[in-house]
Amino acid sequence: MNELNVLTMGEAMAMFIADEPGSLEDCLRYERYVAGAETNVAIGLSRLGIRTAWMSKVGDDSFGRMILKTLTNEGLDVSHVLVDALNPTGFQLKSKVDKGDPVVEYFRKNSSASKISLEDFPLERLPITQHLHLTGIPPAISSSFRELSWQVLNHMKQTGVTISFDPNLRPSLWSNEREMISVINRFAEEADWMLPGMQEGEILTGYRNKEDIASYYLERGVKLVVIKLGEEGAYFATENERKEVPGFAVTKVVDTVGAGDGFAVGVISALLEGSSYEDAVVRGNAIGAKAVMSSGDHEGLPNREELEHFMKKGVLQS
């Protein structure tokens, strides 16, 4: 195939969302979707016309086939996805809520993705790409996936590929917080673009304000730090520029999960197209706002026409 714009890697799971609000144990009916931070970003980029590949492993089961069919239909390159005959595809349950964040229960122990290793994806066989997007989830899933992620990051960096990193902290996947902070910061400090949420930044750096969090990573070689501030928008900082960019008004919050991935889609796609840092953050805010107005992790991510329409009609927060 032609050279990629973006390569990403991670774990995809089947996701079952409750039909009605309430506790998961009381729910009788669920709707099935595909879940995964990296697949959300990949799908969002593909919908904007960015040539994107997702690299991973799925089980030889109905969930794995559903994931591959969904991603193929979204226009992704899945030629770097292996099928594991021994270990299953993970899945999750998610509650339906009228407001706030849903409850999510994961069933991913010993999943096919947790068995990924450098032997599965030799560095010399990695696809040619313009950009690599990583999150903090693969390093948390297993030590073998962590090592592969680290090797891929360094290999790509040596070839001049730009790298974005979203911490996507999952404390429940780590043995302790100290290890999580150490490993995630190790990855973050090698990235060109760092995309933490405000709370994540506080945990990772120990600082309590966005200016100090941004400075922490800039001093360690990161070129752009963009801190997500929820409905308030985002704050970005480079060596020469710092600015808070207001978010877009949301008519109704349906599902907050995936908003950060939508934000990453906006920032990455705009920067790859040569936009300014501020314009990239504006696009990130717009896609993040659209994402929370739909159920599912990636269902609200727009195509190019939908994005342009929303950005023209959308109202910035005052």
Known catalytic residues? 261
- Going across the sheet that includes 193-194, the strands are 81-84, 52-59, 4-9, 129-135, 162-166, 193-194, 224-228, 233-237, 242-246
Backbone angles phi, psi at 144, to 5 degrees: -70, -40
Cβ 292 vs Cβ 254: under 8 Å: yes
Cβ 66 vs Cβ 34: under 8 Å: yes
Strand 242-246 relative to strand 233-237: parallel, antiparallel, unpaired? antiparallel
Integer Cα distance of 255 and 7 in angstroms: 26
Integer Cα distance of 227 and 10 in angstroms: 22
